[in-house]
Structure 1
């Protein structure tokens, strides 16, 4: 599907996070080790980062594979940040503007990425799309499923909902409308990282100096990487990581065993 990564901590050159590790996001674009769906993430990439004293993130995206971008090496060598979100994409559907469909998406102070796919797209999401203000639908960056999921989440964030609740409510809403969807979502505001494991892999690594990385898969063989269980919400700051189970909406629809079947 896709691979993505978010980082909080001391300022680092982008290349040290995205290019240099032995199993970096760069390498995961053609040789992921833990990807469950798809094999090559060559349908675009993007990186977003925060500069000191500026709450609005910068962003660099391209439609092609990350390994084909001749400008990225120089950019990643000189740009430093203490808050980063990046992704490489394996598209599940065609898009008239593949660069616009590449994560990260932005809105106000947030960066967002979606690793997965909405089942039954676009028919399954018609009802949820209708719940958004018309101007937000008309402002979608892309016509892909990730863009609509982001619009649903951003609508909650702009209404003042706390990041973790907004992310959890969005995942549960989409999962209810489109059962079987894979919804590994990742969002940061430069101060926190919030993510869901819902149908694909998610890992995190903490380190000294208030360093935390949340990623689809480990970018090296450090034994301190921790796997996040499926159906889990992760909320991280530079000092803490909190994991909260999420309940699949389908559990509420499961038939109750009869007295006969219990005996």
Structure 2
């Protein structure tokens, strides 16, 4: 997952050219044990589009690395706000590869689009308890069959306004409802919600979830837990507890050896990237969003503000 706000830059500088670009992560992810072959997509705003107030949306249910449209579409666009996602999914009869299941999701009646690296087991059954909190205006727009899209419906239904305070409250309430539904239906499980909610000039990043027994404050050192290897409970817990990443700066470089922001202090930053993995081999300049935190990133004129807070459940 990758989000950006800042001055307009070529979309390929975000999706194609960095050392660890999102397209490269399709086949070589650093932080995810699965290949990201189940589809991809992006939503982008630009003052040069005919409808600059609406996101340009692109989805395709195939690996981004093999999408023959990438070289044709991406280099033709420049963006000031963007959210992109490559999708991993288990390969079985229940996995549906369609445009409708590719992130980011975008509905009428809201400025927000959403994508996530996450999983909510038993979400179809948990709907018994959660549907009562969902508004018809969003349920009617649900076209796919993924947990992320259902969570998008639930979150939008809980939003009272687009203020930072209400967005935080809605995320907290959503997690409380999920925990209660799991308890009521005796379906406690590890739930991973690493989400990006994006609107023009705004990114809200969330890194929350529950442990294997539904606990909202699971414990462990994600680096140590990762040593257990893919397929283990400890590795799954490590993926839950891992941080997400932010890079603030100015003037996104186009030198093939760099592809990173010009160094500056936070007060001078004009752009920010929020991502599930750093786009550069060096992570020294990247800050982290730790488990249990929410970050509000906003562009106001030529400046970027960043507010990090703890989510209370």
Segments of structure 1 that go 5 or more residues without pairing to the other structure are 250-263
- Equivalent residue number for residue 100 of structure 2: 100
Alignment of 1:148-187 (within 5 A): 148-157=150-159, 159-162=160-163, 163-178=167-182, 179=188, 180-187=190-197
Report SS of the residue matched to 2:272: strand
Alpha-carbon shift at residue 43 of structure 1 (Å): 0.2
Q: Tell me the distance in 2 between the aligned counterparts of 1:232 and 1:150.
A: 19
Alpha-carbon shift at residue 74 of structure 1 (Å): 2.0
The equivalent position to 2:56 in structure 1, one of 55, 58, 78, is 58
Segments of structure 2 that go 5 or more residues without pairing to the other structure are 183-187, 209-239, 251-268
Q: Tell me the distance in 2 between the aligned counterparts of 1:86 and 1:213.
A: 11
Q: Tell me the distance in 1 between the aligned counterparts of 2:273 and 2:137.
A: 35
Q: Tell me the distance in 1 between the aligned counterparts of 2:149 and 2:284.
A: 35
Q: CA RMSD of the aligned region, Å? A: 2.0
Q: Tell me the distance in 2 between the aligned counterparts of 1:74 and 1:41.
A: 21
Alpha-carbon shift at residue 41 of structure 1 (Å): 0.8
Q: Tell me the distance in 2 between the aligned counterparts of 1:172 and 1:86.
A: 27
Q: 1:128 to 1:222 in 2, by over 3 A?
A: same
- Equivalent residue number for residue 45 of structure 1: 40
The equivalent position to 2:76 in structure 1, one of 75, 78, 90, is 78
Report SS of the residue matched to 1:34: coil
Q: Deviations over 1:224-262 (max 9, x none)?
A: 101211111111113121111123x4xxxxxxxxxxxxx
Tell me the TM-score normalized by structure 2. Answer: 0.72
- Equivalent residue number for residue 276 of structure 2: 216
- Equivalent residue number for residue 256 of structure 1: none
User: Are the counterparts in 1 of residues 10 and 77 from structure 2 also a CA contact under 8 Å?
Assistant: yes
Q: Tell me the distance in 2 between the aligned counterparts of 1:41 and 1:86.
A: 13
- Equivalent residue number for residue 211 of structure 2: none
* 1:237 counterpart = 2:298: yes
Report SS of the residue matched to 1:27: helix
Alignment of 1:18-29 (within 5 A): 18-29=15-26
Report SS of the residue matched to 2:123: coil
Report SS of the residue matched to 2:54: coil
Report SS of the residue matched to 2:133: coil
Alpha-carbon shift at residue 96 of structure 1 (Å): 4.2
Q: Tell me the distance in 1 between the aligned counterparts of 2:97 and 2:138.
A: 18
- Equivalent residue number for residue 252 of structure 1: none
| Count of residues in correspondence between the two structures | 242
Q: Tell me the distance in 2 between the aligned counterparts of 1:133 and 1:190.
A: 24
